[in-house]
Amino acid sequence: MSRLLNHGKPRDYAQTPLNIYWETTQACALACRHCRAEAVPDRHPMELTFEEGVSFLHQIQDFGDPLPQLILTGGDPLARSGLFELIDTARKLGIGVSITPATTPALTREILVQLKAHEVEGLGLSLDGSTAERHDAIRGVPGTFDRTLQAIQ
Ligand code: SF4
């Protein structure tokens, strides 16, 4: 069963958050009108290195039982190098992992299969309108609506 539901102790929210959102990179191929992350096409030179990312994951472990759920976001977490190694490290530390990838051509069926194989427990996709015209006008890239429906399927 998911660690989300399988905690031994009740959570003291004054001490331990339910979720931690890690903006793993600022890089993203979409150009959403509402982007709070100020996403850009390329990775920021100051983003955490792999080693700093591992150190961050160890800090999450310090919360103890029940651990927060780690949500990997961005930017597009799929644009982050070492993503699967970071996921594996989190899982080895007992941290549950979810992810919110951007729906770009990088989000393939193979990647979805890999995410499942690496024990990612949840995946969030955004659908902002009932038509491609509405959705793509918000996301800034034609074809995103169709890619989102495909990824959901
Ligand atoms: S998918 Fe997310 S990170 Fe990328 S541009 Fe849109 S809101 Fe920003």
Which residue has the CA at smallest separation from atom 2 of ligand 1?
Answer: 75
pLDDT tens digits along 26-77: 999 999 999 988 888 999 999 999 999 999 999 999 999 999 999 999 999 9
- By the 8 A CB rule, do 97 and 83 touch? no
Domain-by-domain residue ranges, the chain? 19-152
Q: What is the pTM of this model?
A: 0.92
pLDDT tens digits along 69-114: 999 999 999 999 999 999 999 999 999 999 999 999 999 999 999 9
For the domain made up of 19-152, the CATH class stated in words is alpha beta
Q: How many whole angstroms from 149 Cα to the centroid of ligand 1?
A: 17
Q: How many whole angstroms from 30 Cα to the centroid of ligand 1?
A: 6
Best of 76, 104, 107, 144 for a ligand 1 pocket test (most atoms within 8 Å of beta carbon): 76
What is the C-alpha separation between 70 and 18, in angstroms, rounded? 9
Tell me if 30 CB under 6 Å of ligand 1.
yes
7 confidence band (pLDDT: 50, 70, 90): low
What is the C-alpha separation between 132 and 142, in angstroms, rounded? 8
